[in-house]
Each structure stands twice: as C-alpha cells, then as structure tokens.
Structure 1
C-alpha cells in the first residue's frame, strides 16, 4: 500500500479540470491510464525522469474506481485531498453544502485514533 501514491493521484487529478472530468466520467479508465502514465513520474520534475516501482494495490484501485472516499480514508488517503477532488466532481449534482454534509455523514463512524494519513 502506498499512501503517497493515493495522495499523489488525488492531488494531480484535482489540479487539472480536464482530469477531474475524465475521472468523474470514466473512473476505471482514468485510474488505469494514470497508473500507467503518471504514477511513476516525479512530481514537479521538468525532465522525463521516472521511478519504476510505484503501483496501486487492488484495494486502492477498487476504491479509486468506485469513488469510495470512505475506503480511501481507511487506506490512508488524506481526507482533505479526497474532499476537494470529490467536491469538484460531485458538488454540482447537489444543493448548497449538501455534498459536503453527505461526505461527513459517511465518515462519522470513525473515531479517534483515525487511520494514519501521514505519508
């Protein structure tokens, strides 16, 4: 499991409006493409330098493909990264603050200590 890779996916997709829409419309295809093309690219690197060892686990892939923010949190993804990306994808389908409240409601069964979100 790589909390770093989960957070990297959420961070990079959230910062590109075209990727946000692509992920909203075709999560499976976007996750597969991103893992093959961008997972091992070094963030903020201006060259084509890449690593070779990063990959999602089956559980991470499943949670990403299903837009399952609760499972992502359980796997260690940072909740602020899931919240900001998922707001960009789904807030438009709901009334004011409705999505944020539903997001919080789905997470309310967690109690301290929360899953470790440190990378």
Structure 2
C-alpha cells in the first residue's frame, strides 16, 4: 500500500475539473485509467520501473471506486485531500455545509490516535 499514491490520486483528480466529473460519474473507470496511465507518469517513472507502490491494493481500489472517504482516511489518505475532492463532487447535491457535516459524522467513530497521514 502506498499512502503517497492514494494522496497523489486525490490531489491530481481534485485539481482537474474534467477528472472531478469523471470520478463523480464513473469512479471505477477513472481509478482504472488513472492507475494504468497516470500513476507512473506523474511520479516520473519509466515503464521498466514498475513496482508495487505504483499500484493500488484491492482495498484501496474498492475505497476509491466507492468514494469511501472513511476507509481512505483509515488507510492513511490525508483528510484534507478527500474532503476537498469530495466537496467538489458532492456539495452541489446538498445545502450549505450539509455535505461537510455529513463527512464529519461519518468519521465520528474514529478516535485518537488518528491513522498516520504522513507520506
């Protein structure tokens, strides 16, 4: 598992409005495309340098496909990256601050010490 790769996915998708929409509409398709096409390029790796840290685990893929921000946080993804991306995708479907409050409520069961979010 690579927390860096998870965070890189969340960061790059959040910064591109087209990718945000693709992730909202077809998360499985975007995750597959990003992992196969972008992971190595964004990390400046040549094809012969494929290693396991350039691929998501099945658990990470599932959480990304299902937009499961709680599982992503529990795996060590940075909460600011999931929050900003998920706000971009889902805030429009809710009233003011409703999505942010629901996001927090979903993580209410997590207590200190929080998962390590260092990369």
Give TM class, smaller chain: over 0.9
Name the structure where helix makes up a greater proportion of residues: 2
SS in 2 for 1:67: coil
Alignment match, 2:23 = 23
- Once superposed, what is the RMSD of the aligned Cα atoms? 1.1
Q: Distance in 1 between matches of 2:114 and 2:61?
A: 22
**5+ long unaligned stretches in structure 2:** none
1:68 aligns with 2:86: no
1:63-88, Cα deviation, whole Å (9 max, x unpaired)? 00000000000111000000000000
**Aligned-pair distance for 1:40?**
1.1
SS at match of 2:40: coil
Give the TM-score of the pair, scaled to structure 2: 0.93
Distance (Å, rounded) in 1 between the aligned partners of 2:57 and 2:109: 24
Q: Any idea what the Cα deviations from partners look like across 1:24-45, whole Å, max 9, x if unmatched?
A: 00000000000000011135x6
What's 1:52 paired with? 50
> Unaligned 5+ residue runs, structure 1?
none
Deviates more, 1:51-60 or 1:5-14: 51-60
